[in-house]
Structure 1
Amino acid sequence: MPRSSCAVYGTAITGVILIVTGVALLVAGVFQNIINKRLKGEITLTEGSKVFGTWKNPPPPVFMEFFFYNVTNPKEFMEGKKPRVNTMGPYTYRYAVMNKLKESNFWVRSFMSVLMGSLGTMFFTHTVNELLWGFEDPLLSRLHKMKPEVDGKFGLMLDKNGSTDGEFVYFTGEQNYLEYGRIDTWKGQKLMSFWNTNQSNMINGTDGSAFHPFLTKEERLDVFTADLCRSIHMLFEKEVKVKGIPAYRYTPPRAVLASGKNNPENEGFCLDPANCLDDGVLNVAVCRKGAPVIVSFPHFYLGDKKYADAIDGLSPVHEHHQTYLDLNPTTGVPVRAAKRAQINILLDRVSGFPMTRNLNGTVFPVMFLNEVRKMRFFSQLRKKKYIKYIYL
């Protein structure tokens, strides 16, 4: 065959391949646009949408794991020595959430019994069930007689059942899919009044249960948590798979709980400039009826080294103490999540209580929790044809 004929045939074949490839790419692009448009329409928080029923009655099981710190040398600690603790748990409970709205208020009514001691000591022994769900406390019972608004019981999860964090108003995403799940108001307010700056009082992002579709690795995801009475943000960490489903893992960076001196965005969270805390802890007494509650990640993970060093028995570990969200980037649906938080109290000298004379402002850990969710919602979505197409 003449060489010119080979060249002609070669050119023709190449041309056909390019045409086929071009058509395929064009069809794929158009098809993907159709899928994207369909997703934007389906993932809206409106009556009758695919996600509304699941938002109202979340299907995945939610497990709460509680870990308690047991003080093994209370007498020595009261004499001014370093406290030593061991971790007891997990004690696991399963609870149901209904978004009329979701409740997650795990705070104690009053820490007076822990701080001062109801029987002449700062430490007591009770069952896990009593510590979580409440027991009659002598000091609080006496106070209850004088002030009925003070509960006579002490419990870390007291009155949790049937309670809420207050009314939220969300954007549905119907007008703009990027707004899906974003909080408009909390308790009727667009701005809180707990903190010292407008930036600290802002209600940013979603409640962590919903995000817009088509997430990117460069995004900063804002999440408002009523537990902390503040907004936090999360950044992309890595790609993961959950039962074969691709997901992006987002986690709170160190800057979220950094002190104001290391992160100017957090300056407003210190209400007393003379007594600001260091990295990794947040005093939330202002929104917890004055109880001396300080929040951190478990074992003071991402916190100033001095906090973990002050307590024998603490050892922060990334894999065990990190909070994270695994989100499918196409739909924005959470496929797995772990919220890990530690409740601490500030132990300091109290005038009129000799037992506190050796205290020096120790941030003392009481317990930490691990709220674990594995979502079934994505598997339900994947049954819809427009989700199947994505994986063809």
Structure 2
Amino acid sequence: SAMTISKSKIAIGLLVVGIFAVVFGTVLVFVGPIIIDDQIVKNVEINPKNELSYTMWKDIPVPFFMSIYFFNILNPDEILAGEKPMVEQRGPYVYSEKRWKDNITFHDNKTVSYQEYRQYFFEESMSAGNESDVVTIPNMLVLGASVMMENMPFPVRLLISAAFKTFKESAFLTKTVGELMWGYDSKLVDFLNSYFPGMLPVKGKFGLFAEFNNSNTGLFTVFTGQDDIRKVHKVDSWNGLKHVNYWNSEQCNMINGTAGQMWPPFMTTESTLPFYSPDACRSMELIYQRPGMIKGIPVYRFVAPKTLFANGSDYPPNEGFCPCRQSGLLNVSTCRHKSPVFISHPHFYNADPALLETVSGLNPNEEDHGLFIDIHPVRRILLMHVIQPYPLDFYSLKISEYQKTGKIAEVVMPMIWFGESGYIDGPVLNTFRTNLVILPMVMEYMQYIVIGFGLGCIIGAVALILSKKVRCLTLSFAVPLLHCSSVVRIPIHPHTAGTLSVVNHSQH
């Protein structure tokens, strides 16, 4: 009896615990994602109280690398004589990139302003050569000055042409990688700045990346996401502008999306990645391609659509970026001080095949030359991996007008391309793996373990109750059956009948 009572208590206890666990687990199934999403929203908004994510945003402790490739011209003299240009890709020359945000100001309308600075350090061990390597590329000074001279009076043009000769400046330039990157002293620059102040955008040394080092990408004002997480990181204004005025249509001048490193959370395969690139002076948009994994963290890969640099006739919305040449080239002269500079994907990838026929030595392929970004879609918005977030492939246009460049047919020459890549590593990666993969997984398994445990308890309780009832049933039915057997005469074998009846009677 005591045993029966304790079993009853155990059964009731198990039943209560089981029902509670099942209810709790079921609630977790529905409430868990809401709790996680709420945490994500809190962590994702730009708020100094969120120590980890704010530090990530402000100091960007992610290794970024810039890989520079030069298109070394193999036949400069022959090009001047009218032959097809031949180039060979030299590089990569790799620079580690330190980025940080400064002059951070929070505003009442839930936005924050900042300037992002960049600093570059040459990484010889990762590079295919040294900064002392010598390469020959189009002479942007001569070509740029030639374009700027077009509207000047004839005597001025004559004077500048004479200056080209005097300073032995030709259509091509042979310098070390270091000089081309960070600047070299040019007598032509000094001369033009003395006699035609304001004609050239450069003062002092002239280098392709001289303006990049220790400089910022402009004053960005972005939404903090504190009132609406869907707006987090989206650009409200750049250098105080709500739109730029480099292009010829309202749509092309729009400043869309983010600053190109983080995007709002909760992405789907239908999402796009819009961002404004100060280097390209325009907004761009990437589209979803496929899912993937990076170091155990699930990511979505977004790529540049084929229409990104298409011309106006192939893709009418791009008409505002014209005057256009072949598809695959973006004319950025309006935001490059009127210099004849174009942007495309490296090696004319995704461009009009006709462009490849004008220059020998190019070999486009998606793996090396496609623009893509790998990003964690749901939990956080940190960029996992970037390749060429700014697909800046500078292309210089030959100008067939002045003495030194007179014989050259007009051709778009590849000059340089660079890719930027960044990836999370080390302790930061571990933190993100914990937050993005392990914790959500634990939460998910937890709810099913709790439900399973609850169901186990309920089954245990039911089993206990049933086992008690079965014993009672056995006892209550056993005795009457024995009584019946004594009364009923069953015709059995004669030898056993008497025995049976005697036995029964004696039992009776």
**Aligned residues, how many?**
366
Counterpart of 2:439? 389
Which deviates further from its counterpart, 62-71 or 340-349? Answer: 340-349
Give the secondary structure class of the aligned counterpart of 1:199: coil
Matched, 1:69 2:63: no
SS at match of 2:308: helix
Alignment partner, residue 373 of structure 1: 422
Instruction: Identify which of 221, 241, 258 aligns with 2:273.
Output: 221
Shift, 1:120, TM fit: 4.5
Shift in CA distance, 104/357, structure 1 to aligned 2, threshold 3 Å: farther
Please state how far the C-alpha of 1:25 moved relative to its aligned partner. Answer: 5.0
Map 1:233-382 → 2, pairs under 5 A: 233-270=285-322, 272=323, 276-330=324-378, 331-339=380-388, 340-350=391-401, 353-376=402-425, 377-382=428-433
Cα deviation for residue 191 of structure 1 reads 1.2
1:194 aligned counterpart, secondary structure:
coil
Unpaired runs of 5+ in structure 2? 1-17, 103-114, 121-138, 147-163, 443-508
> Which one has a bigger Cα radius of gyration?
2
Contact 2:310 2:327 in 1 (8 A): yes
Q: Is 1:38 the counterpart of 2:39 in the alignment?
A: yes
**Residue equivalent to 1:55:** 57
Shift of residue 387, structure 1, vs aligned partner: 6.0
Q: Deviations over 1:192-220 (max 9, x none)?
A: 11111110000000011111111111112
Amino acid at match of 2:182: W
Q: Deviations over 1:208-242 (max 9, x none)?
A: 11111111111122111011111110111111111
Higher relative contact order (CA 8 A, sep 6+): 2
The offset of 1:26, in angstroms, is 4.3
2:251 corresponds to which letter in structure 1?
A: Q
Three-state SS of the structure 2 residue aligned to 1:161 is coil
Cα distance in 2 for residues equivalent to 1:27 and 1:120? 73
Asked if 1:132 is matched to 2:181, the reply is yes
Q: What CA distance in whole angstroms lies between the structure 1 residues aligned with 2:23 and 2:319? A: 55
* Equivalent residue number for residue 3 of structure 1: none
CA shift digits 1:221-264 (9 cap, x unpaired):
21110111111101111111111111000011111111111212
Following TM superposition, by how much is the alpha carbon of 1:23 offset from its aligned partner in structure 2, in angstroms? 6.8
Contact 1:64 1:95 in 2 (8 A): yes
CA deviation vs aligned residue, 1:1-55 (integer Å, no higher than 9, x gap): xxxxxxxxxxxxxxxx9x9988745422211111011111111012222422211
Distance 1:244 1:121 in 2: 53
| Structure 1 residue ranges (4+ consecutive) displaced by more than 6 angstroms after TM superposition | 19-23
Q: Secondary structure at the match of 2:168?
A: coil
Does the alignment pair 1:102 with 2:116?
yes
In structure 2, what is the Cα distance between the partners aligned to 1:383 and 1:94?
27
Determine the C-alpha separation between the residues in 1 that align with 2:314 and 2:284. 16
Q: Is contact 2:143–2:399 with CA below 8 Å preserved after alignment? A: no
CA pair 345-22 structure 1, distance change in 2 beyond 3 A: farther
| 1:154-176 CA-partner distances (Å, limit 9, x unpaired) | 21111322222211100011111
For 2:82, the equivalent position in structure 1 comes to 80
Counterpart CA distance in 2 for 1:205 and 1:177 is 14
| SS of corresponding position for 1:80 | coil
Measured after TM superposition, the shift of residue 388 of structure 1 is 3.4
Name 1:112's counterpart in structure 2: 141
Unaligned runs of at least 5 residues, structure 1: 1-16
Q: Aligned letter for 1:29?
A: F
Asked if structure 2 preserves the Cα contact closer than 8 Å seen for 1:105 and 1:227, the reply is no
What corresponds to 2:234 in structure 1? 182
Q: Which residue of 1 aligns with 2:92?
A: 90
Partner of 2:170: 121
CA distance in 2, matches of 1:57, 1:105: 13
C-alpha offsets along residues 143-162 of structure 1, whole Å, 9 cap, x if unaligned? 12224554242211113222
Give the alignment of 1:14-25 within 5 angstroms.
24-25=25-26
Give the deviation of 1:95 after TM superposition: 1.9
